Structure 1
Amino acid sequence: MTIRRRPLGASLLALALALPATAARADEGMWTFDNFPAERMEQAYGWAPDQAWLDKVQAAAVRLTGGCSASFVSPDGLILTNHHCVASCLYDNSTAEMDYLDKGYVADRRDLELKCPGQQAEVVTAITDVTDDVKSAFAGLAGEALTKARDARIAEIESANCTDTATTRCQVVTLFGGGQYKLYTYRKYSDVRLAWSPEDRASTFGGDPDNFNFPRYSLDASFLRAYEDGKPVSTPGHLKWNPRAPKEGEVTFVVGNPGSTSRLYTQSQLDFEREVRLPVTLTTLSELRGRLITAMEESPEKEREGLDTLNGIENGLKVYIGRTKALNDPAFTAKLAAAETDLRAKSAGRAETGDPWSAVDEAVDAYRALYLPSRFLTPSGDLFGYASTLVFAAQERAKPNGERLPGFTDSALPLTEKRLLDERPVYPWLDELMMGWSLSKAREYLGVDDPDSRLLLGKESPEGLAERLVTGTKLADPAVRKALWDGGQAAVEASDDPMIRYALQLADRQRALRDAVNESYSGPLAIAGGQLADARFAAYGESLYPDATFTLRISYGQVKGWEERGQQVPIMTTMGGTFERATGAPPFDVAKGFAANEAKIDKAAAFDFVTTNDIIGGNSGSPVIDRSGTVIGAAFDGNIHSLGGNYGYDGTLNRTVVVSTDAVQEALEKIYPAPALVKELRAK
């Protein structure tokens, strides 16, 4: 399993899950912009946005390639997102003398805005259905031959539609497990800078205990800016900033890029999650958390340098614990099973449907034997990640575009190159810890005598090998990486850098495993997924939403609390509640900026609020938009019940947690003053 730093939220027994195979009900759904269910929303709320409204919102929605969502909120490229979405930017710009993650950052002038390594902002400009084109490329094929033909055609489509890779990006996205293929065209901005961010404790007040819970008192908001040719980009299609409190029952929209869901999984896929993937993930991440905390306690420097990684690990652990609880809840899983039974019954007798369930069962059975080596044969750590990227890029760039692996095609290379070459700090102790941990877990799960364990370790210990490679490599220097990138295959193969030699040592086996997975798992699933999608469309109509794929979606809902243990949970918290909740001890210690400016803060101002919008990880930073099309908040979390949302949605319990524009305005004016931004947000 590869773990790197982030550049990279129940009462489940009562979960009344809307069946995933049927048409969506209530406020369920992460809808694509080319299939928004306007009629269904109008029936529920008496109003739905028209196409002009949708077009305007789409033009202002931003995808951050670090794994978050955002929106343009001024005519000069100003971007609203979450604090935790820019934490890595703060971290990468910090030094021992100036810890921006801890203290926050306010750029008094635009020329002082901080560049964010590896970050790119993208706006969807077109969505095109290329299903028939892609499917025709692999008609009659199976296994590895199918995936190669499919990927080759996808590479051709992306290359043909985005000839200007400096300003555009094309990405063919698989939807409904292979039932549809859509070409997403993006206007991209590769120069993204940090304009304003509060201190870390303002965002993380309540820490892990409050994570995925409500009430919350979190200022999880920050502002970036997109640049081009050294100047802020012009964004006339931005959303209007509306600093106000939410109104109970009002309609809200969340527009962003939900990362991944598994709501269309079959029973055998869910069994694999519960029996294999989730237990391995929980066990290994728990050990990593313990190792990292122990190391961070050694010095203040390590505490600072490890914090961003620790935050990501703890957040992930809570997510996976919630998913595990969901898949071990008999009431929850019974509803999933009933959904599959219903779809099977409606598909019985349709010759064109075939038996995709049996095909998925066989593919999952085959994958069980491949999962552990596939997971553990790629060690963790930034430095190994650089080496592996250089090795595969050198090998793939020597091939025709249509024969390359995903991630190394013409359309994908610019972002791959940016992430590789952008300058950012690498901390050797942290890389050693990450690599040593991942190698030790590989040996533990694969076995000492397994050929893959021997390939990974030879006769060295996991920690000894990690120390030798990390201390010997020069890949922390971006100039060294650039020389190898520019030198191509000849330079990489001639390199005596130990991390490069190690990545070369593993590459052939990694390719062989990928081919085996394509042959017995990915290829069969591509066919079965298409059949399952056709069965769903035939049974329930085409007003369905696909699983999340970190592509632009829109969900609708309303500001609404829920009932917890017989008590009604309020829709929002206020700024003053922060001081009432504070204990003085971490993580309930008030941020220094809040404490210093308590007398100035309007304690009645709205802080965080909840809505029924359907979201998942990746939606972090998504604008929360009202009926008039103005932004009234940024989504940053879900409540504890939403952790089962990977597999299904329950409108009575699942809630999106939002930081209000009312609170952000208070912070901009009184806590972390930024008068230039206040003025900019008022611009028309």
Structure 2
Amino acid sequence: MRTILAALLPLAVSAPADEGMWLFNRPPVEPVKEKYGFEITPEWLDHLREASVRFNNGGSGSFVSKQGLILTNHHVGAGLIEKLSTPEHNLLEDGYLAKTPADELPCPGLELNVLRSIEDVTRRVEAAVTPDQSPAEASAARRAVIAAIEKESMDATGLRSDVVTLYLGGAYHLYRYQRYTDVRLVFVPDVKAAAFGGDADNFEYPRYCLDCCFFRAYVDGEPADTPDFLKWSATGPAEGELVFTSGHPGRTDRSNTLEELKHLRDEGFPYRMEQIYRAETVLRAWADRDRENARRAKQAIVGTQNGRKAIGGMLNGLLDPAVMAAKSESETELRATEAAAFDEVARVQDELSEIAVRLDLLEGGSAFGSGLFYVARTLLRAEAEAEKPDGERLPEFQDSSRLSLELDLFADEPVYKDLETVRMAASLTFLCAKLGADDPLVKKVLAGKSPDERAAELVDGTQLDDIPLRRQLYENGVAASDDPMVALARLVDDEARALRAEAEALDERDAQAHAKIARAKFEQQGDSVYPDATFTLRLSYGVAKGYGDVPWCTNYGGMLERHEKQGGVSPFDFSPQWAAHAGDLDPGVPLDFVSTNDITGGNSGSPVVNRAGELVGLIFDGNLPSLVSDFAYTEDRGRAVSVHSAGILEAMRKVYGATRILEELGF
């Protein structure tokens, strides 16, 4: 079954335009060679793969020296940098430069992954599912065999081993990663330069952002030995030049059926937008009360604003009749042979809609916005799941996931209980709004109090911000604990688990239907079909190219002009350090550029390389017209936005005096 999917061969059929987030074990060799005259060799690809880094907080990066130096975006590292900050030393506002190796700051809870190998395990996973099994039984069988594959691989290799679902259930590949858990901050510019233009310019272009920062991976207390690193190009790309992106796009929905997109358009995205608007309003109001509040809430607000624009842009795309008409037309031929599969997907979506809100609130945790609730639930479930065989546990508690779970659970990060209370109160209010204050479970959760009162009681009363206590409860169990946050997790866990089980059975039906559609699609289009993004390493290609009257790149002269035209007020102001050296910057040096590379969220921090495999840019955004690419790629106006390699060097030399790093990069 699925013999086409099992073949790990270069693609033989060209894709339209510069479309595609291609698997590294099925690269677009022929399309690139035919269109651009460049041949992707195994050696070139392996070097790029070994140099590419995944950040477990949702971004990408790359090694840029043989001593484990890593380049990524400022906004990928911002949450970590915020946790390293204090009221006296705000590293986000001021930036940070480690003058010596001893000054490089450890980042608790951060895990980096480097992909070492890929193996197709589709046949083994599919063999575990039989036609006579119910959806719940099939889901359990699939989970068990995946857990067994991952554990066998981890035990044999010592590498993180993840079975990745591709083509919405059409294939399963085993990805093996080397982990780095000792990661340290080396250099970060001030946020005014990194996020120049702020929310006003977010997802817009032209842009003038120095959205970069540097970390270093360590092994046994010494800088990691990383011979596969990307050589830095001092000149960067030229207009029209072929460039490649190697990164970890988080999720796309291009394989979704028309009915699935309708559910997102009419239910999923409007629900999410309501959540975002509520959260943004609450966080902004709290941050405006006090400067320290503003520092603590900074990244939460930025993340919420990013979500608002991203989800809003995708919703706008699905509200475009032309997008939906194109999706409908693309399904016509497939429906002729797989009508039953399409009908099953539609039925699954209808049934998921019936539980979607309670599923998100209780199992998704949207009703309990404090990170302390997630700690409580992790401790509660860790105890319960430990009693089961590995293959029957929830995936996040299986042996293959243990290191990542414990790294996150015991990360020594600051907990601001005032902010946690605000977020918990807002989410409890949302719970009441969606389920009604008279819902029996809502009544139990609130315990006769208002959301504000209950949130204060829960957050003030919990001791789960104490890391030694967390470890003690993790090792000995929480059965005897009277911590109020643990009690809350215990209160909602039965229904949350039941909803999750119901959703997983529906997902199994959906996966089996999509597998049939995938087979039909392969029969029609051959193996030129790439899978949707899954936060796994992908390759995209394109050219540095503007659109309409918009130029392909911006420069420091344009940044200064925008600063002056906007009166130098926030978010177009400069930090004192930047203002002192702005006149030293060469106005003609490129700062940001756009290209036709196919990207999405998760690609942030991805390296952009040229034919020689040299680093010429750093992905940090897409423009507004690109947001619809979650459902359909468009080269007309959609663009990936990157920081130019020459622009980074210019600022490091003339503003920040980052001599030690420049020398390590070869300058």
Tell me the TM-score normalised to structure 1 length: 0.93
Q: Distance in 1 between the 2:156 and 2:182 partners?
A: 16
Cα deviation for residue 578 of structure 1 reads 1.2
SS of match in other structure, 1:597: helix
8 A contact 1:455–1:506 mirrored in 2: no
SS of match in other structure, 1:80: strand
8 A contact 2:257–2:342 mirrored in 1: yes
Runs of 4+ that moved beyond 4 A: none
8 A contact 1:130–1:182 mirrored in 2: yes
Indicate the residue corresponding to 1:14 in structure 2: none
Matches within 5 A, 1:488-507: 491-507=477-493
Match status 1:432 vs 2:421 = yes
8 A contact 2:236–2:617 mirrored in 1: no
Indicate the residue corresponding to 1:542 in structure 2: 527
Q: Distance in 2 between the 1:155 and 1:458 partners?
A: 39
Q: Distance in 2 between the 1:164 and 1:507 partners?
A: 35
| Equivalent of residue 172 in structure 1, options 163, 173, 187 | 163
Q: Distance in 2 between the 1:412 and 1:371 partners?
A: 26
Cα deviation for residue 200 of structure 1 reads 0.7
SS of match in other structure, 2:396: coil
Q: Residue type matched to 2:494 in 1?
A: D
Match status 1:219 vs 2:200 = no
SS of match in other structure, 1:196: strand
Indicate the residue corresponding to 2:515 in structure 1: 530
In structure 2, the gaps of 5 or more residues are 1-12
SS of match in other structure, 1:241: coil
8 A contact 1:249–1:559 mirrored in 2: yes
Indicate the residue corresponding to 1:397 in structure 2: 386
Q: Distance in 2 between the 1:393 and 1:235 partners?
A: 35
| Equivalent of residue 146 in structure 1, options 130, 135, 138 | 138
Match status 1:636 vs 2:620 = yes
Match status 1:387 vs 2:372 = no
Q: Distance in 2 between the 1:598 and 1:41 partners?
A: 40
In structure 2, do the counterparts of structure 1 residues 424 and 531 end up closer, same or farther at CA, with 3 Å as the change threshold? Answer: same
In structure 1, the gaps of 5 or more residues are 1-21
Indicate the residue corresponding to 2:557 in structure 1: 576
Q: Residue type matched to 1:572 in 2?
A: C
RMSD (CA atoms): 1.4
Cα deviation for residue 331 of structure 1 reads 1.2
| Equivalent of residue 591 in structure 2, options 607, 612, 633 | 607
Match status 1:663 vs 2:647 = yes
Q: Distance in 2 between the 1:288 and 1:421 partners?
A: 27
Match status 1:485 vs 2:474 = yes
Q: Residue type matched to 1:623 in 2?
A: P
8 A contact 1:255–1:554 mirrored in 2: yes
Cα deviation for residue 381 of structure 1 reads 1.3
Cα deviation for residue 501 of structure 1 reads 1.4
Cα deviation for residue 450 of structure 1 reads 2.4
8 A contact 1:205–1:591 mirrored in 2: no
Match status 1:464 vs 2:453 = yes
| Equivalent of residue 17 in structure 2, options 8, 12, 26 | 26
Q: Give the stretch that moved more between structures: 376-385 or 458-467.
A: 458-467
Indicate the residue corresponding to 1:78 in structure 2: 69
Cα deviation for residue 354 of structure 1 reads 6.6
Count of residue correspondences: 647
Indicate the residue corresponding to 1:559 in structure 2: 544
Q: Distance in 2 between the 1:136 and 1:80 partners?
A: 42
8 A contact 2:38–2:611 mirrored in 1: no
| Equivalent of residue 346 in structure 2, options 361, 374, 379 | 361
| Equivalent of residue 449 in structure 1, options 428, 438, 458 | 438
Cα deviation for residue 230 of structure 1 reads 1.0
Q: Give the stretch that moved more between structures: 260-269 or 237-246.
A: 237-246
Match status 1:338 vs 2:319 = no
Indicate the residue corresponding to 2:410 in structure 1: 421
Indicate the residue corresponding to 2:150 in structure 1: 158
Cα deviation for residue 211 of structure 1 reads 0.6
SS of match in other structure, 1:459: coil
Cα deviation for residue 212 of structure 1 reads 0.6
Q: Distance in 2 between the 1:114 and 1:297 partners?
A: 30
Aligned-pair identity in percent equals 41
Indicate the residue corresponding to 2:8 in structure 1: none
Cα deviation for residue 316 of structure 1 reads 0.4
Cα deviation for residue 448 of structure 1 reads 2.2
User: Which string of whole-angstrom CA distances, capped at 9 and with x for unpartnered residues, describes residues 414-440 of structure 1?
Assistant: 101101101111111211111111111
User: Which string of whole-angstrom CA distances, capped at 9 and with x for unpartnered residues, describes residues 627-667 of structure 1?
Assistant: 11000111000011011111111012110000011111112
Cα deviation for residue 455 of structure 1 reads 4.0
User: Which string of whole-angstrom CA distances, capped at 9 and with x for unpartnered residues, describes residues 586-609 of structure 1?
Assistant: 111123332111232122111000
Indicate the residue corresponding to 1:590 in structure 2: 574
Q: Residue type matched to 2:449 in 1?
A: E
Match status 1:133 vs 2:114 = no
SS of match in other structure, 1:162: helix
8 A contact 1:83–1:220 mirrored in 2: yes
Q: Residue type matched to 1:596 in 2?
A: A
Tell me the TM-score normalised to structure 2 length: 0.95
SS of match in other structure, 1:247: coil
Q: Residue type matched to 2:439 in 1?
A: D
User: Which string of whole-angstrom CA distances, capped at 9 and with x for unpartnered residues, describes residues 44-79 of structure 1?
Assistant: 112231111111111101001010000001000000
User: Which string of whole-angstrom CA distances, capped at 9 and with x for unpartnered residues, describes residues 270-325 of structure 1?
Assistant: 11101111111111210111111111111111011100100000000000110111
User: Which string of whole-angstrom CA distances, capped at 9 and with x for unpartnered residues, describes residues 107-155 of structure 1?
Assistant: 0111211111221111111000000100111122232111111111101
SS of match in other structure, 1:573: strand
SS of match in other structure, 2:592: strand
User: Which string of whole-angstrom CA distances, capped at 9 and with x for unpartnered residues, describes residues 341-381 of structure 1?
Assistant: 23224xx2xxxx57210111111111111101001112111
Indicate the residue corresponding to 1:18 in structure 2: none
Q: Distance in 2 between the 1:248 and 1:100 partners?
A: 35
